[in-house]
Amino acid sequence: MLDRAIFTLTFAAAIGSGVIGGIFYAFSTVVMAALGRLPSAQGAGAMKAINVTVINPVFMIAFMGTGVLCLVLAGVSLIWWGRPGGILILAASLLYLLGCFGVTLLCNVPLNHQLAAVAPAQEAALWSRYLDLWTAWNHVRTLAPILSAILFTAALLLA
């Protein structure tokens, strides 16, 4: 019974990690480059709208739900420690929690708050710096959940 539950949670975490990695990949490869081609006021305005729109149930369930799954699986991996896949589940969980969730909270969200709070007269000066920093941190939080999905999948193959 426990093995089936761990398998199911790991499968869900693999899917969630892949979905979130895909969303962030789209931003790293397309969205931010497109916003960077716009005049500063338009690019910043579009990003502000994205930052408000992303706070929705569908995205938050995928992003936060995967984080919760990873917390549970990190703890459960101790039960599976000596079994094939146990260490992969722990590594995948930590990668998502630190590289995706942690980077979002510590790097991307504070930049979003700066952009939201800047006066229109300073927006152009902040936008260039924001675009570079936000995108660089987004690359990190793109790679982390993609690697997590790979590790979760590898753990499932070993189970």
Q: Is the pLDDT of residue 99 over 70?
A: yes
Long-range Cβ contacts of 134-139 (<8 Å, 24+ apart): 134/32, 134/108, 135/27, 135/28, 135/32, 137/103, 137/107, 137/108, 137/111, 138/24, 138/27, 138/28, 138/32, 138/108, 139/28
Residue 146 in this model has a pLDDT that exceeds 80: yes
User: Residue type at 148?
Assistant: S
pLDDT of residue 95: 98
Q: Please tell me the predicted confidence (pLDDT) of residue 80.
A: 73
> What value does the mean pLDDT take over residues 126-150?
97
pLDDT category at 154 given cuts 50, 70, 90 is very high
What band does 2 get if pLDDT is binned at 50, 70 and 90?
A: low
**pLDDT at res. 34:** 98
State the average pLDDT for the chain. 95
pLDDT exceeds cutoff 80 at 22: yes
pLDDT, mean of residues 39-54: 96
The confidence band for 98, taking pLDDT boundaries of 50, 70 and 90, is very high
Question: Kind and range of the H or E element at 4?
Answer: helix 2-26
Pick the closest to residue 10 from 86, 98, 64 (CA basis): 86
Q: What is the pLDDT of residues 110-129, one digit of tens each?
A: 999 999 999 988 988 899 99
Q: What is the b/e burial string over 5-27, where b = at least 16 CB atoms within 10 angstroms of the residue's CB? A: ebeebbbebbbbbbbbbebbbeb
